Structures are given as C-alpha cells and as structure tokens.
Amino acid sequence: ATPRTVLLTGAAGGLGTLMRDLLPGYGYELRLLDLLPIEGEPDAIVADLADKDAVREAVRGVDAIIHLAGISLEASFEKILRANIEGTYNLYEAAREEGVPRIVFASSNHAVGFTPRPQGDAPLIPIDTPHRPDTFYGLSKSFGEDLAQFYWDKHALETVSVRIGSCFPEPSSVRMLSVWMSPADGARLFHAALTAENVQHTVVYGSSANTRLWWDLSTARAIGYDPQDDSEQYAEKIIAEQGDLDPENIAHAYLGGHFVSDPPIWPY
C-alpha cells in the first residue's frame, strides 16, 4: 500500500525544501523534522537527531521516513559521528521500536567517491561497486548503507538507500552534467522508493537520465523510477563558461570530484 504519512527529516535543508514542495503532489502528508525551525511551518518538529526521545516521538505513527537530516558536506569526524552516524542509528532504532516499516535513506555518491570515473566506452559504475568513501562525510554514508542492510537482515525494516548525485534546481558544473538529479526526478525517485513492493534493502543511484551519466540506474529503474530529465541542455553553456574536464586534475578523475582532493579538515 502507498504510505501516506511520511516523516521528512532534514526538512529545512536544500533538498528538504525542494521535496516539501513536490512530494505533497504525490499524495503524501509530510511530517517535518529539522534542527532548525522552518518559516511558515509551525507544526514542524524542531529536534536534534541526538535527542532519542524526540526522535522516537517524531517517528510514531508514520508509514515511512525519508531521512535527509545530517551534515551534508565534509566536517570534522566528531561532528559527522554525532549527526550522521549516531543520528542515523537513533532514527533506525526509533523506527524499529515504533514499527515503521520503511526508510528512504539519503546516501551519497561520496560513499563511492574514490571510484574512478568511467573513461571512453568503459561500462557504467555498477551499484555493487565497493564502498570507497572520499571523506568522513562519505564514510558516514557507507555506514548508513550498512546500517540499513543490518536493519533489514536483523529486523525486517526495509530501506532504499539513494546514492544521490547532485540535486539542485539546475546543474552548475561540468561534473554535475553527469551526476545531476533534477528536483522533479528526485521526487519521482523518492515516490518509487516509498511505494515499490518488497525492496528489502535496495541501493540505487540518484540522478536524472543524463547523457553523460557515469553510473548504472538499473536498480533505480527496477523499483519503478522513470527519470524524465537530462542535464545535456545545460552542457554547452556550462562548458563554454568553465572549460571541459581536465584529465590532469585529480578531482576530475574520480566520482567524488573535489571531495577527493580538498584538504582535510583541520583540526580534527
């Protein structure tokens, strides 16, 4: 059955704001949660994922959860540990205790960010490519995918882990021509992840059907995702402004882009 009431964690963030606009169009009633209050949303739950009691109360009675909350870029290990690793654990534990049957987890391409980009006619990167996180941030997404698998195997709590590329209104870099997910396709993919039967723990890449795609969307298509957008319409302008990919630049060699080469955060 289609889940009706969906808890959206990270609802104040960029992706959360886009999905607050789009998902009600699929018939969902959203319950919102974030660390930060949301203007015009007085019923949104303002809570930290570290607050186990608040998280348990927030998940009570929902049909599914879309889990976006957390630190969305590189940060110190301590911050990532608290928000992304312990926070995601707290959410899963609350969902298990309250009997929520399914979570859609916002994983990231940075869980596999040190995977070389396919060159020439090389095959697309498969979904079962080994984890190769490019940051503590990416490491927390690898952990989240393992946590999801564990909660399926041990507790029959289902997850679709979506390794999102870049979900923004428009692509803004040459790399994004390959990894962009339009907001409308993002909503299509989340809807598929919420409604497909028997997903157990399924991992999918999250992007539009880009001409310059680097990864294999077949597991996403298998749960009913039918992307409608392609970044190619932006290619000429972006390449004219920014130049094409440079094979000498390490940030251009791997999926994760500049995440692989940015200086480490110091002090840890």
Q: Which residues are catalytic?
A: 137
- Of 108 and 115, nearer to ligand 15L (C-beta) is 108
For residue 189, the surrounding DSSP H or E stretch is helix 183-195
Contacting range for ligand 15L; rule: CB under 6 A; set: 107-115, 182-190, 229-237, 246-254: 107-115
Contacting range for ligand NAI; rule: CB under 6 A; set: 48-56, 128-136, 209-217, 234-242: 48-56
Pairing label, strands 45-46, 102-108: unpaired
Q: How many residues bind ligand NAI (CB under 6 A)?
A: 24
166 interacts with ligand 15L by CB under 6 A: yes
Structure-token match 């999250």, residue found = 206
Which residue number places its CB atom closest to ligand NAI? 13
The correct pick among 20, 22, 41, 48 for binding ligand NAI (CB under 6 A) is 48
Pairing label, strands 158-164, 201-206: parallel
Q: Are 36 and 46 in contact (CB under 8 A)?
A: yes
CB-CB neighbours of 268 under 10 Å? 8
202 interacts with ligand NAI by CB under 6 A: no
Structure-token match 């205790």, residue found = 97
74 interacts with ligand NAI by CB under 6 A: no
Q: Give the number of C-alpha atoms closer than 13 A to the C-alpha of residue 77, restricted to the C-beta side.
A: 5
- The residue ranges that bind ligand NAI (CB under 6 A) are 10, 12-16, 34-36, 48-50, 68-72, 83, 87, 106, 108, 164, 166-167
